[in-house]
Each structure stands twice: as C-alpha cells, then as structure tokens.
Amino acid sequence: MLDVKLTIDPVKGFRVAGIHGGLKADNALDIALIVSDRPCATGAVFTTNRVKAAPVLLCQQRLKDGAGGIRAVFVNTKCANAATGATGLSNAQKVTEWVAEKAQIKPEQVLMLSTGVIGTQLPMSKIEPAVEQAYKALGQNWNNTAQAIMTTDTRPKMASVLIRTSSGEYTIAGIAKGSGMIAPNMATMLSVIVTDAKMNPAQAQSLLSSASQLTFNRIVVDGDTSTNDTVILMASGASGVQLDSATEMLQFQQALTAVCASLAKAAVRDGEGATKFITLDIRGAASDADAHTIGNTIAASPLVKTAFFGNDANWGRIIAAAGRAGVNFDPDKAKLHMVKGEALAKDDHSQEIPGLLLFENGMPTKYKEADATATIKETNIYVTLDCGVGSGRAIVWTCDLSHDYVDINGSYRS
Amino acid sequence: MLDVKLTIDPVKGFRVAGIHGGLKADNALDIALIVSDRPCATGAVFTTNRVKAAPVLLCQQRLKDGAGGIRAVFVNTKCANAATGATGLSNAQKVTEWVAEKAQIKPEQVLMLSTGVIGTQLPMSKIEPAVEQAYKALGQNWNNTAQAIMTTDTRPKMASVLIRTSSGEYTIAGIAKGSGMIAPNMATMLSVIVTDAKMNPAQAQSLLSSASQLTFNRIVVDGDTSTNDTVILMASGASGVQLDSATEMLQFQQALTAVCASLAKAAVRDGEGATKFITLDIRGAASDADAHTIGNTIAASPLVKTAFFGNDANWGRIIAAAGRAGVNFDPDKAKLHMVKGEALAKDDHSQEIPGLLLFENGMPTKYKEADATATIKETNIYVTLDCGVGSGRAIVWTCDLSHDYVDINGSYRS
C-alpha cells in the first residue's frame, strides 16, 4: 500500500517559499515561489475554458516551446489575471522576467499561476518587491508555500509519497488550492507537484494527464470551470532515480495518482461551505464515459446538493439527475445504494453492494426512512448507482451546497 | 400590442376547480381539475429527462392515441409519482378512471399531471374522494385552480389574452407552477393552457412547441430538469372562431407566445429564493443555438447567481461561464453591458446598447465600480453579452441564488 502523507519533507533540488506580498489583508501569505536547482521535465494540464487567464496562455506557450527546461513556478493570489487582454499577458511575462533575474535563469524557464478575481489587472507595484522577498525566503517551508496559494480554502493542501526502488528512493510531493469553481472535464484548481525522479518531458506529460483524469477531473464542487485551472508536474531528476522499466513507470503512475487523489479529495472536503464528503460510485453504465457523465450531473445538481446539506435522503433527486445526464439511463434497470463512509469495505463487482438499497425496479424499496436519514446525516456518504445496462464505471467526489457557499460567493470580491 | 392580463376570465366551454384534498397541510389547495364540455385538440411538451414520471408516460400514450379527444386534466401536488414503477403507472390510470367516471367520459380523454416528491406512491385513499370533491367544485374559479397546482411557489401564476378577429373573439388562458428544478431544454414546470379557438391537434402541437421554445425553454432557476415537466394546450373551439388564414394563425402564435412568456417569467420571478430577475441577452453568437447555450450556461452558474445575490458586479464570472459553454466564444471579441430593467428601450441591432460597458477587447473597461454596483443592486437587471462572432441571438431569463434556495431545498420533503 502507498503511504500518502499530508505533509511534505524536503524534496531534493527544490526550494520553496510562501510569503505575504501585500495582496491579502491581515498579513496573510499570498505569494508562492518554487525553484528547482536544475531544469525539470514538466507536464501540465489546463482549464478547458475558452476564456483562459494570461498565466495559462503563458504556461502553454512556454511548455510548447520547451517543456524540458522549466526551473521555477511563481504563484499569486487575489488576482486571476483573466479577462485582462494584452495588458494582462504582458504583466505576466514581466513577472516571470523578475523571477528569472533573481534566479539567474531565463524567463522562458519560469511558469506563472494566478488565482483570484477575474477581470482585474495584476498589482504590479506590489508584485515586484514580492518577487525579491519570495526569492530571499526560499527554503523548505512547504506548509507556508501551500498556505500562500490558498483563496477561499480554509486549510493548506499537501500530499507526498516516498518511493523506494532498487536504484534508490524518490519523492512525489504536491500542493493544491481549491475550493470553489470546481467542475469536471478540466485540470481543476491550482496544483504544483514536484518529484526528484528522472524522466523526460513527454513522460511527465503523459503521467500527469493520466493521473489527472482519475483525480482532479473527478471532483465537483459547483460545476463552474475556472479560467485559471492548472496542474503542473516538475520532475527534476535530482534523486538520480531514473524510471527505466515498465514496472517502475507503473509504480510512479500509481504513486502520482495517489498524491493527486489526496489533493483532489482535500479540495472537495474543503469545498466552499461544504459540510459533507460524498462519493458517487456509478456502475453498470454503458461505458466509463457515460458513468462519468452521470456522476458529474448528479454531483453538480443543486437539488441533490441541498438535499444532502439538509440531511434529507431525497434520493429521487439523484435518479432524476441521472435521467437528465443525456446518456443511456433506464430507471427500471437501476439500483441505488447509500452507506456511510468514503470507500466500500469490499469493492468487488461480484460482491453484494453494502448499505441501504433505496431504489430498484423503477420504484422505491421498502426501506425505513429513519435508516436513510441516519445515513445521510453522516459526514462521509458513499452512494452507489448501478445503472444495470453495461459495465462502465466512474467514481466522482463531491460535496453538499450550504448557506456558506452562498455567503462566500456573494461577497467574494469584498 | 397584446394585452396580457395576469388574471383569467371565464373561457367558453371550460370549467375548473382547485380544492383541498388532504395532501398539503393547513387546508391548502392541492388538487386541480380542468374540464371541457367538448373534445379538445391538444398539444403538449414534456420533460426530456429519461426518468419520466408516470403521469408523463400516461399523457404521452394518450396523446399519441388520440390528441383530438381530450376532455379533462387532473393535477395533484405533493407527490410527483416519479420513480414509482408499474404501481405508479397503474395508480395514475386509476385516477383518470375516477375522473372519467365522474365526467361521464372515457379515461382516454383524461390527462394527469403530478408534482411533488419523487419516489413516493400516490396517496390513493385521499385522491379518490378528492376527485369527487373537485368535480363537484367545477366552476370558473381560475385563481383557486392556479393556487392548487403550486408547490414551493409563493403565488399563483395566471395569464390570459382576449383576441378579436373578424369572425369573433377567442381567449387563450394559462396557469403554471414553478419554481425550482427549472432548466433549459425541456418543457419546464407544469402548465395548462386552454383556448376556445378552433384548430386541429397537429396545429395545437405545432403552435405549443414553437411558443415553448421561446418561453418555457428560455428560463433557468437552478439547472435541474424535472421528471414531471409538462405543458398542455387544449383547444376546444367553443368560441366558434376557426383559425383559417395564415394571418390568423400567426396572430394566435404570437398571443400564445405572449401568454407562455408571461407564465415563464412569472416562474423565474418566483424562483425558489429568488431576489432578482435577470435577462440575459446573448447576441453576436455564431448561431441562435450557440447564443442559447451560452445564455443557459451563464444562467445555471452558481458563481454568477451568488454574485447577483450578493450585489457584487463580478462580471468576470459571466465571461468565465460563457467561456466554458462549449461553443464558439472569444473573449477578445466580446462586449458586456449591464443596465437596469427587463427590456431595452430600443431593441435594435443598429442602435448602441444602453447601459454600462464593463468588458471589451478582452479586458475590463474603465467603468466606475460604484456605477456597476448601483446597477446590480436593482431587482431587474438586463445583461447584454455581444459575442462579436456572428448574428446568433437568444434571450434567457434567470434569477439569483440565495440562502432561501438552500433552505427550501434542504427541507423540501419535510
């Protein structure tokens, strides 16, 4: 079993910092910098929104030009630098020039991530001194770095694993920020993942894309897709461990997926106003893609989400959401189970699904309402919807919709 | 100009009733019955959800079998009779048999609409006496009838027009209920529209489909699609006015559309927890369909909706929602205006769009934040997004997302 830690020990060759650059109030950390002592093979996944923030456009260009030479990632909060036109892009470039000057590298070796309000320009007069301050603060304080990329997050999100191989050991470590505007079919949120394992840029891209598909693309807070979503994987090779064999590559893939899953689930758990963590296990769909679509539709349904918040086991809304997902779904063939927890004790298709069977043969079973209510009152709820039409499966993680979501998003800019 | 009234005078040949049948608490009206003294040419539009309630399946079958002979519509609240399997369907049939017996017509001439909780069976022992009670109460009390189909609605929704033609006058009158689970691409909510004009079933269907496309399909409260959405148009011909010429048919189409628009907008205005009525005018899209998709995506965005609720003119979320709509959208070509009101004083493509220009050339304009805040504090807000890539246009009506939505939907079954 992989032992994913929620903290990060030093990763060979990387120095990091999280500082207060005057963007957030109350001296809160708001600027992060991650620097590698050597060029990194770098992969990235980005938002699918057609409105892409300036830093996204900048990263995409630089990774196209040379994904093998990345040395640094700079992150600012409070300003998404999205819908900011040519000014926004030139500002982002300028910031990376400042970072490059300090680190004595080329601007093309610097990536930038931004998060915050859409439609305002970067406060350049604050960011210029913040670059210097961040550079001076570089060290091993991953906790500060994770804190410095937070927006409406209530806690920093970190995950790491140490992998031992016959040729030595390497680390995969990541930080992420949520926690609203989280939707399927995109990279989701900001996350920077570093490793001292050695690989080439194509491998970094392929490994990250696969891991994201099963993790960051499987979480839903509110169904909105950000203009800034970016996940970056930087592989420095400083451990000297090269992923040579197929076995080693598979081991890395699994470890990276575990780190990404931990960060993705942490984002949902800390979703804006979330009080519950809900796992939607969609089985028996016509295809995995159909299962994913059904899971996403249920997860984004305001009616489903408010029912969970209200401790109302109104499972009819889950069936109704599945029915409007636009893919093959026949209520007469579907079965719906609900049980407390984050995972099934035995996750095996040949086993009976545990928990309360609420719906089958197109109608409710004779379950006791008190049992259903007891289950939905749990903080962690596992919902299994077996569609009964095929063998497609997808797991989607989501949260409920509460008063606090409305509060947080009704006053985000103030 | 069409004079749409928000009340209904008697419509020739129709008798209606709204009574308390013991389904709702506090003696609230919960059962409605509409009976025509002769067979009606009947058109209908239904939910696109693959989970269709028993009454929807029943109506679809009966209209397929003979849309020319409908005499009565029975409506119950508190129980959607959806996800209720064979029992649910046979219960719905039974109710229409009771109605047919009272009215001395065939069960096949009776339609049924249900709304309420999904996944519970009809309380048949209450409905049987309610049918008799409703039949006895038949008269001209449209206000009671409109009230009796309400769920979370806070007020009854009625609209009617009287049309004078050279061969006489006829009325179009409709009632509707909202107010949550309202999404695009479906019939939306329950509505029964009656007219004493004369037409054949194919005409009734065609007229209703066209009118719904521009009205009921253009409103969004929360993006959820119900299992029960049904809009029915019954044309009795009791006025003796036959729609002979193309001009008369067009006149009817416009009048029906005006009635449907009034009901649709009333549903949004009374949307669950709504505090604002927002008109999204999407112009310059690659096609009308693209404009509709962009409008729907903005309207269903929780982040857009909460910003409106919070009086925060965070227009960047509107641009971001447009960007994830999945259709042609280029922020560099788009322009976003906002102004108070429900309609533009001059709605003409050749005219300058009035109101505050917030965004163009891919970046914010130099507008004053106080002006934007003043606009978003209005109860009626008109947003124009000119995409700048074509001539497609669609208007979508929506509302904000408030604390009350969460309250209403967190405790709907209790």
Taking an 8 Å cut-off on Cβ atoms, the answer to whether A85 and B405 are in contact is no
Element (H, E) at B386: strand B380-386
B263 and B340 housed in the same domain: no
pLDDT of residue A272: 75
Comparing CB atoms, the residue among B224, B307, B322 nearest residue A321 is B224
Question: Is residue A7, in this structure, part of any structural domain at all?
Answer: no
pLDDT of residue B58: 97
Comparing CB atoms, the residue among A183, A331, A410 nearest residue B306 is A410
B37 and B120 housed in the same domain: yes
Residue B382 sits in a domain whose CATH number is 3.10.20.340
pLDDT of residue A240: 94
Q: How many domains does chain A have?
A: 2
Question: Is residue B6, in this structure, part of any structural domain at all?
Answer: no
Specify the long-range contacts of residues A357-361, CB closer than 8 Å, at least 24 apart: A358/A313, A358/A315, A358/B119, A359/A315, A359/A319, A359/A331, A359/A334, A359/A335, A359/B83, A359/B119, A360/A334, A360/A335, A360/A336, A361/A332, A361/B85
pLDDT of residue A101: 98
Q: Which of A188, A227, A279, A384 is catalytic?
A: A188
pLDDT of residue A63: 94
Element (H, E) at A66: helix A54-66
Q: Could you tell me which residues come within 8 angstroms of residue A104 by beta carbon, excluding any fewer than 6 positions away?
A: none
Q: How far apart are CA A242 and CA A199, in angstroms?
A: 6
User: pLDDT digit string (tens) for A101-140?
Assistant: 999 999 999 999 999 888 899 999 999 999 999 999 999 9
Using an 8 Å CB-CB cutoff, list chain B residues near A303.
180-181, 222, 224, 409
Question: Is residue B64, in this structure, part of any structural domain at all?
Answer: yes
* Maximum Cα interatomic distance, chain A, rounded to a whole number of Å: 70
Q: How distant, in Å, are the alpha carbons of A330, B85, B184, B230 from that of B205?
A: 27, 28, 19, 13
B262 and B284 housed in the same domain: no
Instruction: Please state the pTM of the whole predicted model.
Output: 0.82
Owning domain of residue B329: 277-410
Comparing CB atoms, the residue among A88, A359, A406 nearest residue B83 is A359
- What is the Cα A116 distance to its own chain's centre? 16
A63 and A169 housed in the same domain: yes
User: pLDDT digit string (tens) for A364-401?
Assistant: 999 999 999 999 999 999 999 999 999 999 999 998 88
Question: Is residue B9, in this structure, part of any structural domain at all?
Answer: no
In 3D space, the residue among B133, B131, B137, B118 whose CA is nearest the CA of residue B51 turns out to be B118
B282 and B232 housed in the same domain: no
Out of A247, A269, A291, a domain closes at A269
Taking an 8 Å cut-off on Cβ atoms, the answer to whether A409 and B302 are in contact is yes
Average pLDDT over residues A324-353: 86
Taking an 8 Å cut-off on Cβ atoms, the answer to whether A324 and B117 are in contact is no
Least confident of A78-87, A173-182, B185-194, B395-404: B185-194
For residue A299 the two structure tokens come to 């997860």
Between positions 106 and 165 of B, the ones with CB within 8 A of A are 117-121
Question: Is residue A18, in this structure, part of any structural domain at all?
Answer: yes
Between positions 6 and 25 of B, the ones with CB within 8 A of A are none
Contact A313, A373 (CB under 8 A): yes
pLDDT of residue A347: 73
How would you write B202-251 as a 3-class SS string?
Answer: HHHHHHHHHHHHHCHHHEECCCCCCCCCEEEEEECCCCCCECCCHHHHHH
B83 and B168 housed in the same domain: yes
Which chain A residue has the Cα nearest residue B328? A50
Q: Could you tell me which residues come within 8 angstroms of residue A328 by beta carbon, excluding any fewer than 6 positions away?
A: A285, A286, A290, A387, A389, A390
A264 and A285 housed in the same domain: no
Average pLDDT over residues A336-359: 84
A30 and A62 housed in the same domain: yes
Question: Is residue A3, in this structure, part of any structural domain at all?
Answer: no
pLDDT of residue A349: 66
Q: How far apart are CA A246 and CA A243, in angstroms?
A: 8
Contact A388, A334 (CB under 8 A): yes
Residue A187 confidence (pLDDT) above 50? no
Taking an 8 Å cut-off on Cβ atoms, the answer to whether A361 and B85 are in contact is yes
Out of B269, B300, B320, a domain closes at B269
Asked if A77 reaches chain B (Cβ–Cβ under 8 Å), the answer is no
A264 and A297 housed in the same domain: no
User: pLDDT digit string (tens) for B239-293?
Assistant: 999 988 888 999 999 999 999 999 988 988 887 778 999 999 999 999 999 999 9
pLDDT confidence band for A158 (50 / 70 / 90): very high
Taking an 8 Å cut-off on Cβ atoms, the answer to whether B224 and A303 are in contact is yes
Out of A204, A237, A269, a domain closes at A269
Q: How many residues does chain A have?
A: 414
Which chain B residue has the Cα nearest residue A181? B303
Residue A26 sits in a domain whose CATH number is 3.60.70.12
B33 and B55 housed in the same domain: yes
| d(CA B48, nearest CA chain A) in Å | 7
User: pLDDT digit string (tens) for B336-388?
Assistant: 999 999 888 777 666 778 889 999 999 999 999 999 999 999 999 999 999 99
Q: Could you tell me which residues come within 8 angstroms of residue A49 by beta carbon, excluding any fewer than 6 positions away?
A: A186, A225, A226, A227, A229, B320, B323, B324
User: pLDDT digit string (tens) for B149-190?
Assistant: 998 888 999 999 999 998 899 999 999 998 665 544 433 479
- What is the Cα B364 distance to its own chain's centre? 35
A329 and A256 housed in the same domain: no
- What is the Cα B167 distance to its own chain's centre? 31
Q: How distant, in Å, are the alpha carbons of A192, A195, B203, B278, B350 from that of A177?
A: 9, 19, 56, 32, 46
Query: Is the alpha carbon torsion for B247, B248, B249, B252 positive or negative?
Result: positive
pLDDT of residue B279: 94
Q: Could you tell me which residues come within 8 angstroms of residue A36 by beta carbon, excluding any fewer than 6 positions away?
A: A13, A14, A70, A71, A72, A194, A234, A236, A238
Taking an 8 Å cut-off on Cβ atoms, the answer to whether B363 and A323 are in contact is no
Using an 8 Å CB-CB cutoff, list chain A residues near B46.
none
Segment of A80-89, A337-346, B41-50 carrying the highest mean pLDDT = A80-89
Q: How far apart are CA B95 and CA B74, in angstroms?
A: 8
Instruction: Tell me, yes or no, if B257 is annotated catalytic.
Output: no
B56 and B140 housed in the same domain: yes
Helices (H), B11-160: 54-66, 85-103, 124-137, 142-148
Model ipTM?
Answer: 0.73
pLDDT confidence band for A216 (50 / 70 / 90): confident
pLDDT averaged over chain A? 90
Taking an 8 Å cut-off on Cβ atoms, the answer to whether B363 and A329 are in contact is no
pLDDT of residue A412: 60
| d(CA A165, nearest CA chain B) in Å | 42
Q: Helix, strand, coil: what percent of chain A each, to 5?
A: 35, 25, 40
User: pLDDT digit string (tens) for A258-313?
Assistant: 999 999 889 888 877 789 999 999 999 999 999 999 998 999 888 888 889 989 88
Contact A232, A201 (CB under 8 A): no
Residue A350 confidence (pLDDT) above 80? no
Question: Is residue B118, in this structure, part of any structural domain at all?
Answer: yes
Q: Which of B188, B257, B375, B384 is catalytic?
A: B188
Q: How far apart are CA A314 and CA A337, in angstroms?
A: 13
Asked if B307 reaches chain A (Cβ–Cβ under 8 Å), the answer is yes
Question: Is residue A9, in this structure, part of any structural domain at all?
Answer: no
